[in-house]
Structure 1
């Protein structure tokens, strides 16, 4: 069984979530790749067709492509409208979206909740959706509603699914070796030591090339467990200094974990790292539920499980879960606004989520009334984990200024992981760039 690249998004480059091809496009980088094919497909000079809605999708991998096809087919049958889908690979979509939205974008496009959505809302590169939410709002929790609103309190986003990050493992390996599920930091590091003695790579690692985004899951959890939700979000939003002693404490814990990482992570993709977990060469992996997207062997899927990232400070426990939320936005000047809003109303329904989840087993529906009967065990456990969380975070490159993360934080953390020290030089370097991206 071999993993293939994940849509994700997550993200994430062409991985999982490839959604992580991190946002060069938000800075105006690499416009042509996305803008040209999608704008050509839109027909920039053509009159709007009242029976057609155009849809820009980043779901280029086989599973999300099929899932979106099921959703658009169901909408067409229900509405009598045709959805013309323009699919572009996730990494290209990420890097080019700013220029795409300033050109002649599709009516509706895939994107991410929280800060990422708010960025385009502030730039007025999308349309408000309060009227859509008047019809769909009862189906979502208050936490989901918050993720769908801009800083001005207006809705700009319709969510489809989310997925948690956790520590994944194979149940049969733990049973064979007699490993117990750790809840605390001391139990976690003790388990890692034992795995190392047993000849395993305790923690799968792959952050080479365009996959550096994958290390953010570990950084986020270490910071959340060490310092709590409020500090983490303040750090992500540029409100506190990166040389704060609490940030130093986060790197101290990461340095404790570093000896248990799979060797050569900087030259390995996240898919290869995940494969080592499936092959029982690595004992654990800090990763998102998208790990299981490309698994077709149900016996293997049934052997995969996860546990929440361990507690470091009892004051914070395990109360925060990283659960990135993906969904849809409306372009600033849609050619068929009425049809596009009908499409978004459908996308915000339990029916649409059921259609999508029926094809894609690596995500969890966010609509209150979405069915869970088709969920596999990982999806059921994921839904329970997210529902139990006191706080939900998106992900490092979604909760912060994307340019700051992609050009300052990620390169710094990636280099540091190669030779982890006390982190003082790294944190000073990151802090020296903070004012470039955040204003007081």
Structure 2
């Protein structure tokens, strides 16, 4: 079942982008730490928030935004990002917080369909004018009701340090052959060409996404994510064959490395480039962020060029078991305000505001380039683990891609295994 809602570049950024359950994830309670207290002057009691913003910069960003919410007292329960994501299903069925951080599109629809999220269509009647139709589509369940408030988003691209490239005379490649030639030159120059990490399981998904969209196009990619194509199709095998050809340029031993560590290697000029989301900027000292730039992954198949990218949308939902629905809805309205998102994008250089009314004049050069990249893309995917069923992503694709990264020569048996598991999950 293809639950993915397509996004056109025009509707996405018409306005803004024109420029084992751990204890911490059990849920709210009296002892939940109040890491971002507001005031209760508005009389809406206490609103609890389950947050996956565990890295330093996103955590500070959320704290700052929530402190501006004065209609209720707020309590944030912050959990390691990967732990939160891996346990979300049991979390929502247990004793979740009122509001929780989550993702747009298929990931939102999946839990809305299971009755684990609260309908916030009434909230959208008030905030709808601040978003493009495409953002609303990505917030809408299969029943036509809204369950999600978009907050920020970020494009995936190939990032590099301008000073290193200027020193070495590197130029952004336009084709896969040019990309390979550049990587080979970097290797000769003593750099590890491509920073790479997959200890957490999801980063390799971004590499698969872009190689598949560049090779087979957006429509095939989304159909594959929806369980409608076979993983043993020669088209899919070609993607892995292409990826295997690039492995010699990847940072070695990626299964023991986090994306943060790979990002730091780019910041430290040990690696030449890194395919990741714009949030890689979080790993750069503030003084060095102006040296960070990117190019979109180059063309592989001329039939599709560079028309598609990943640009995931992050935001907030209300759990079906929320104790304070009125307070939670008031908080979501606060998070939807352009002024709230302006605070977030100022503090977090790797994000862009979802609201069409956000003040993009304060964007850094990198953020302006990111918004431009998204606005020019014909097709925008949400990322592999958001464009497919969460159980397929976590139980099949994470271990499968890690297996490929560890043993890239065993493609045929791997794809056969993925297809068999897919059939059982999507039937």
CA contact (8 A) 2:27 2:94 kept: no
Is residue 430 from structure 1 mapped to residue 421 from structure 2 by the alignment? no
Paired position in structure 1 for 2:23 = 33
Report deviation, 1:50.
3.3
Is residue 269 from structure 1 mapped to residue 243 from structure 2 by the alignment? no
CA contact (8 A) 2:98 2:328 kept: yes
Paired position in structure 1 for 2:56 = 62
Give the unaligned 5+ runs of structure 2. 1-19, 34-42
Report deviation, 1:83.
2.1
CA distance in 1, matches of 2:74, 2:131: 25
Report deviation, 1:133.
0.8
CA contact (8 A) 1:117 1:157 kept: yes
Report deviation, 1:181.
0.8
Q: 1:108 to 1:313 in 2, by over 3 A?
A: same
CA distance in 1, matches of 2:216, 2:369: 26
Give the unaligned 5+ runs of structure 1. 1-29, 44-48
Q: Which piece of structure 1 moves more, 282-291 or 221-230? A: 282-291
Paired position in structure 2 for 1:25 = none
Q: 1:42 to 1:262 in 2, by over 3 A?
A: closer
Report deviation, 1:41.
4.3
Report deviation, 1:304.
1.0
- TM-score, normalised on structure 2? 0.89
Match of 2:152 among 158, 161, 165: 161
Report deviation, 1:40.
4.8
Is residue 214 from structure 1 mapped to residue 203 from structure 2 by the alignment? yes
CA contact (8 A) 2:26 2:96 kept: no
Match of 2:366 among 364, 370, 378: 378
Paired position in structure 2 for 1:95 = 86
Matches within 5 A, 1:299-318: 300-318=288-306
Is residue 130 from structure 1 mapped to residue 121 from structure 2 by the alignment? yes
Report deviation, 1:221.
0.1
CA contact (8 A) 1:42 1:106 kept: no
Matches within 5 A, 1:15-414: 30-36=20-26, 38-41=28-31, 50-76=44-70, 80-208=71-199, 211-298=200-287, 300-414=288-402
Q: 1:123 to 1:39 in 2, by over 3 A?
A: farther
CA distance in 2, matches of 1:286, 1:316: 19
CA distance in 1, matches of 2:346, 2:63: 12
How many equivalent pairs are there?
399
Q: Which piece of structure 1 moves more, 60-69 or 142-151? A: 60-69
Q: Which piece of structure 1 moves more, 403-412 or 132-141? A: 403-412
Partner secondary structure for residue 59 of structure 2: helix
**Aligned Cα RMSD in Å?**
1.9
CA distance in 1, matches of 2:273, 2:127: 39
